[in-house]
Amino acid sequence: MTTNAEILHGSQATATHKLWLDGTEFAKRTLLKSGQIPWMNSTETASLFGQLEGVLSADALSLPLMEILTAWLQANPQALMDMSGKKRVRYAVKKLLTHPVFRHDLKDLLSSIGGVVRGEIFVVLPSSSEVTRWAHTQANPDAEVFDLTELDVDSVSVYLADLVREFKECGVTAVIASVGNEDMAAGARPELYQPIANVAEHYQWSFGCIVNTEADDAPFKDGADIVVSSGSAANVAVLGSAFWQDGALPEPAEVVYSQVPVELAPEQIRKHIASLKQQFVAWA
């Protein structure tokens, strides 16, 4: 597995330090005037991400797969027929992630965004537990979902890895697994996400994890190139309110990440990001 430093100094990197931003909610609030991202219109969504990149000046932008899945299923409710009728909790999510029309539409969307955005695209995958529960209850509204198991987390990671292979010519530069409390309770550990990491390594992408859990995140410390966490496993600096409101700069880090606050005006965002980019030069 490549190191954090190797990622940043690879062919995709333009500087010693990298700013990775999730501007999805900001785009809805500010650029779309509290509207929704038109995920099912690849041309409009690509244009929106081009605008977002212009405002944020980020080196990498997040692309949330869960939102795309939700929008696609709303637009294609007939897919629920293929996903329903089975008790096994993983059945629905497997049918959805392997649906040929979904894969075609997703590739078209990613390719369109990749053709407009000049920086990097980090696809953020949903957690295994989140997408499994969601798909099963969408397909079987009256079904009861019991506690998920290690096998569920492992199997859905394999399904996601198979889907990620479809991104190979779409301009993606990183795939980010999400790990939540329910995943940890089911026995999540870095080895269960190895299928995704293997695909990322094969295509020379970065592999990362967003570990959002109250459990001990220490096992993930060396489990990915990029780890976003509030615990000891983190190797990414996370920008909080002290930065966005007061301009307080983070400690030196090769990757700096944040969700962009929706309440800030573009002028404020540009000011703070310009200050951070100057600091990147000082850190180099």
In 3D space, the residue among 266, 239, 243, 283 whose CA is nearest the CA of residue 19 turns out to be: 239
Q: Which pLDDT belongs to residue 154?
A: 97
Q: The pTM is what?
A: 0.94
Q: Which pLDDT belongs to residue 7?
A: 43
In this prediction, the residues of the chain whose per-residue pLDDT falls under 50 are 1-2, 5, 7-14
Phi, psi angles (nearest 5°) of residue 98? -100, 5
Q: Which pLDDT belongs to residue 4?
A: 53
Q: Which pLDDT belongs to residue 223?
A: 87
CATH class of the domain defined by 4-283:
alpha beta
Q: Which pLDDT belongs to residue 146?
A: 86
Q: Please tell me the distance from the alpha carbon of residue 83 to that of residue 63, in angstroms, as a whole number.
A: 25
